[in-house]
Amino acid sequence: MSSDKKISDKKIAVITGGATGIGKETARLLVADGVHVVLSGRRKDVGEQTIAELTANGGSASFLVADMDSQDSISALFDSVVAEFGRLDYAVNNAGLAHETAAIADADPVKFQEMLSTNVMGLFLCMQREIKEMLAGGRGGAIVNLASIAGLNGIPYSGPYAATKHAVVGLTKTAGIEYSAQGVRVNAVAPGAIKTDIIARAITLGQYDEATITEMHPMGRMGQPQEIAAGIHWLLSDQASFVAGAILNIDGGFQAK
């Protein structure tokens, strides 16, 4: 698809939390395919900077402020997308919180509730709207959720976060069963530790130790955002046309241990 096609002729993707890290790298791949990508996030300045990068060479992308902690904000996001473009083909539910390292007995219930609100309820509300719009359009579509190795395993000092990501796995598998025959494929990726701004800040603050994180992965390193984006891109593509309800591990061998 050429980059000068009208937006109305393009496929449309929504990526929540798309202005940085994995979301941003996924957007790069979709824009290169000729998809118009709508990124959402809380920080307008960061979002607009990312859009400038994505469109510098003729790509097509836009940014909308949205808060995954607010049902009204999520509704407004999809209302705007449908009103402007009239369709939704791809969705990547990437926004999430991981802001505590504590044993379960010491975990902060308020922080747990915040993670539940964004990582589970926010993703659930996005999925509901995405599925409805893809079914209504009659063209089907593909959705990829961001799970985690913490959604497949117990992770010490990350119990509340692990609980939210286990919920993402359950929602993904169930939606994969319920909607694949109607042309909407729902899958997830389960990344290991990835070198994003969030982890970099946590290491700087002493919340995580880089050497310990690295040793968790048989490859002996953390992953890069573009490595996760490549898996998401494949799951969205027609090359994954027989894949539904799957959890794709991209974890440097962590799950194979």
3-state SS of 49-107 is HHHHHHHCCCCCEEEEECCCCCHHHHHHHHHHHHHHHCCCCEEEECCCCCCCCECHHHC
Residues in the chain: 257
The answer to whether residues 187 and 232 touch, using CB atoms and an 8 Å cutoff, is: no
Count other C-beta atoms under 10 Å from residue 234's C-beta: 16
Catalogue the long-range contacts made by 194-199 (C-beta closer than 8 Å, 24 or more residues apart).
194/21, 194/22, 194/222, 194/223, 194/224, 194/225, 194/227, 194/228, 195/222, 195/223, 195/224, 195/225, 196/20, 196/21, 196/22, 196/225, 197/20, 197/21, 198/21, 198/98
Q: Which residues are catalytic?
A: 161
The answer to whether residues 123 and 93 touch, using CB atoms and an 8 Å cutoff, is: yes
